[in-house]
């Protein structure tokens, strides 16, 4: 099968959707304020690249900051639950309760408590991924390599030495897997925080452009947010692949 | 008593203790629950249709999978303000709940179907079954448990979609009540809305858990 045929087989779905959208918007004469054509959206992005680049960078920055914060807090909580039984019971109960309740319902309360600043945005973004992160880290800490565990028993290592030299390195693949699996959720929560209380970022652009009937701008923000999510997810998937190969 | 049922009971107690039974809250809860169920239905239906088309027509499969991959990465929050322009206000929440359900149900069902089942696959090859026949007569019987499991996992996502839809623009619902309470600084109403939403989520989750448990016992 030639390369062109293989590419065509993979992209025909997306290409067909874009083509139908383009033809429909041109032929039906639907108002561009309601539904702009894909070419119009592309032209809007190319018209003001620095504006979109700045807001995309802001979204990506907040998303990465929330990743780092969530990873640090989840690791600390995971270690606490690994070492202390009461902490483990409490954390496991919280995970179970949160699993079936959408975390977004707590956002208005966070805004009410922490105001409309960047801190509230970061808390919202972190809260969305903290509990799933914690589940991954708990799973990573719960299954250390059996050989290493036995060796540590034979050598009579202390608990903190076992944690530093065996459990934490064993947890790294799970941490990277958590990052890869949670990329869409992290991006969604970042955009949601920007949408509700932000003054920068693609979430803010989507809200403000729609409010000003700048529909091409709102569509462009949606397209860029989707592209950013895809890039982040694929990059982290690749990082996960490399890490799993390294640790296997 | 299962853990979701316990959470359900806790949320119900919290709602009643906070302010008694508020009729506005009941109306809003009904609207949000209805939007969530509508989203769960249409989202899972779309996921099933795309999976069925891609599994039975090998030629269109890479293109459909790529399309579904992109749809899975669409953040529901940035689509909300655009859906408001295209659909009636009472359909925005359902559309976003449907999109969120599709994203999760598609991934779960696709991975369930991608798991090789050597006995069934060998039987299909022995009978020279077409992909359509294999899916309809051999694999369909293995799908009820993964389907209900996917739906159960999609409940919080669907409710998230419905609430974001109500935040984007809706004329009723718990999301709207939350925003109103936030803007008018009414913490009691805000907490009531939060616990009512948690009550709906836990209720749907408990039902899904029970159905999945029954199906698992019947099919495995």
Work out the burial of residue A112: count CB atoms within 10 Å of its CB; fewer than 13 is exposed, 13-18 middle, 19 or more buried: middle
Token pair listed for A177: 């897997």
Which of A87, A67, A30, A58 lies closest to A184 in space, CA to CA? A67
Question: Residue A87 and residue B190: Cα distance in Å, rounded?
Answer: 30
Token pair listed for B13: 């107690």
Question: Residue B141 and residue B214: Cα distance in Å, rounded?
Answer: 15
Kindly identify which residue of chain B lies nearest to residue A32, measuring between CA atoms: B85
Which residues, including other chains, have CB under 8 Å from residue A75's CB and lie 6 or more apart?
A137, A171, A175
The vertex-B41 CA angle with B59 and B219, nearest 5°, equals 80
Helix (H) or strand (E) holding A201: none
pLDDT at B12 over 70: no
pLDDT at B68 over 80: yes
ipTM (interface pTM):
0.84
Helix (H, G, I), strand (E, B) or coil at B73: coil
Q: How confident is the model at residue B1 (pLDDT cuts 50, 70, 90)?
A: very low
Interface of B with A in 153-172 (CB under 8 A): 155-157, 159-160, 163-164, 167
Tell me which chain B residues have a C-beta less than 8 angstroms from the C-beta of A10.
Answer: 62-63, 66
Which of B203, B219, B207, B211 lies closest to B33 in space, CA to CA? B203
Interface of A with B in 34-53 (CB under 8 A): 34-35
- Among the residues of chain B, which ranges form H helices? 3-19, 23-56, 61-72, 76-86, 89-114, 118-126, 131-133, 144-168, 174-183, 187-219
- Give A26→chain B minimum CA distance, Å: 17
What DSSP character marks residue A158?
-
The mean per-residue pLDDT over the stretch A63-77 comes to 91
Token pair listed for B150: 């996917």
Q: Does A184 touch chain B (CB under 8 A)?
A: yes
Tell me which chain B residues have a C-beta less than 8 angstroms from the C-beta of A105.
Answer: 163, 178, 193-194, 197-198
Q: What integer best gives the mean pLDDT of chain B? A: 83
CB atoms near residue B140 (< 10 Å): 12
pLDDT at B128 over 80: no
Which residues, including other chains, have CB under 8 Å from residue A178's CB and lie 6 or more apart?
A71, A74, A132, A133, A136, A137
CB atoms near residue B163 (< 10 Å): 29
- Give B218→chain A minimum CA distance, Å: 24
Q: Where do we find the tokens 């959208």?
A: A21
CB A8 within 8 A of CB B58: no
Q: Do A101 and B202 touch (CB under 8 A)?
A: yes
Q: How confident is the model at residue B19 (pLDDT cuts 50, 70, 90)?
A: low
Question: Residue A125 and residue B148: Cα distance in Å, rounded?
Answer: 29
Question: Residue A52 and residue A217: Cα distance in Å, rounded?
Answer: 9
| First-to-last C-alpha distance (Å) of chain A | 34
CB atoms near residue B198 (< 10 Å): 25
| First-to-last C-alpha distance (Å) of chain B | 23
pLDDT at B18: 56
Q: Does B126 touch chain A (CB under 8 A)?
A: no
Q: Does B14 touch chain A (CB under 8 A)?
A: no
Task: Render pLDDT for B175-192 as a digit per residue (tens, 0 to 9).
Answer: 898 888 888 888 888 888
What DSSP character marks residue A182?
T
Q: What integer best gives the mean pLDDT of chain A? A: 87
Kindly identify which residue of chain A lies nearest to residue B176, measuring between CA atoms: A108
* B85 Ramachandran zone, left/alpha/beta (phi>0; psi -120 to 50): alpha
Interface of B with A in 172-191 (CB under 8 A): 178-179, 181-182, 185, 187, 190-191
Tell me which chain B residues have a C-beta less than 8 angstroms from the C-beta of A109.
Answer: 187, 190-191, 194
> Counting one residue from A and one from B, how many pairs have CB atoms under 8 Å apart?
134
CB B153 within 8 A of CB B104: yes
pLDDT at B172: 84
Q: Do A13 and B202 touch (CB under 8 A)?
A: no
Backbone angles phi, psi at B129, to 5 degrees: -75, 145
pLDDT at B7 over 70: no
Kindly identify which residue of chain A lies nearest to residue B196, measuring between CA atoms: A105
**In this predicted model, which residue has the larger pLDDT, B11 or A75?**
A75
Question: Residue A44 and residue A227: Cα distance in Å, rounded?
Answer: 16
Q: Does A3 touch chain B (CB under 8 A)?
A: no
CB B71 within 8 A of CB B102: yes
Q: What percent of chain B shows pLDDT beyond 90? A: 19
The mean per-residue pLDDT over the stretch B137-147 comes to 80
Backbone angles phi, psi at B58, to 5 degrees: -55, -30
Q: How confident is the model at residue B13 (pLDDT cuts 50, 70, 90)?
A: low
Q: Does B106 touch chain A (CB under 8 A)?
A: no
Chain A interface disruption, residue of B77, B157, B179, most A CBs within 10 A = B77
pLDDT at A27 over 60: yes
């Amino acid at each position: 099968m030639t390369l062109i045929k293989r590419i065509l087989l993979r992209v025909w779905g997306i290409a067909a959707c874009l083509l139908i959208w383009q033809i429909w918007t041109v032929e039906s004469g639907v108002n561009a304020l309601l539904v702009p054509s894909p070419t119009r959206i592309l032209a809007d992005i190319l018209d003001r690249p620095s504006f979109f680049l700045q807001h995309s960078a802001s979204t990506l920055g907040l998303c990465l900051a929330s990743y780092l914060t969530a990873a640090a807090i989840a690791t600390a909580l995971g270690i606490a639950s690994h070492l202390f039984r009461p902490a483990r019971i409490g954390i496991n109960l919280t995970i179970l309760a949160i699993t079936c309740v959408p975390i977004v319902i707590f956002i208005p309360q966070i805004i009410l408590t922490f105001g409309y600043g960047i801190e509230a945005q970061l808390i919202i973004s972190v809260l969305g991924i903290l509990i799933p992160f914690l589940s991954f880290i708990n799973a990573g800490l719960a299954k250390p390599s059996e050989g290493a565990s036995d060796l540590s028993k034979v050598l009579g290592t202390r608990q903190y030495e076992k944690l530093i030299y065996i459990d934490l390195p064993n947890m790294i693949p799970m941490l990277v897997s958590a990052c890869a699996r949670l990329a869409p959720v992290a991006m969604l929560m970042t955009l949601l925080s920007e949408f509700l209380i932000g003054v920068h970022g693609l979430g803010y652009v989507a809200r403000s452009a729609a409010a000003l009937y700048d529909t091409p701008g709102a569509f462009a923000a949606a397209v860029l947010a989707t592209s950013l999510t895809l890039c982040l997810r694929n990059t982290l998937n690749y990082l996960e692949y490399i890490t799993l190969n390294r640790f296997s | 008593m299962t853990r979701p049922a316990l959470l359900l009971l806790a949320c119900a107690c919290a709602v009643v203790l906070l302010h008694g039974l508020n009729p506005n809250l009941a109306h809003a809860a009904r609207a949000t629950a209805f939007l969530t169920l509508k989203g769960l239905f249409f989202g899972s239906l779309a996921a099933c249709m795309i999976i069925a088309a891609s599994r039975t027509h090998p030629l269109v499969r890479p293109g459909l999978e790529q399309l579904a991959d992109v749809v899975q990465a669409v953040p529901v929050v940035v689509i909300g303000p655009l859906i408001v322009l295209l659909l009636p206000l009472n359909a925005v929440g359902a559309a976003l709940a449907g999109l969120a359900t599709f994203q999760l149900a598609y991934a779960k069902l696709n991975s369930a179907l991608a798991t090789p089942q050597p006995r069934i696959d060998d039987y299909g090859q022995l009978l020279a079954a077409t992909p359509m026949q294999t899916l309809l007569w051999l694999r369909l019987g293995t799908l009820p448990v993964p389907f209900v499991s996917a739906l159960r996992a999609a409940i919080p996502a669907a409710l998230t979609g419905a609430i974001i839809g109500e935040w984007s623009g809706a004329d009723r619902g718990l999301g709207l009540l939350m925003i109103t309470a936030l803007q008018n600084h009414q913490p009691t109403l805000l907490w009531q809305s939060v616990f009512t939403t948690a009550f709906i989520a836990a209720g749907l989750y408990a039902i899904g858990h029970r159905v999945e448990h029954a199906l698992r016992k019947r099919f495995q």
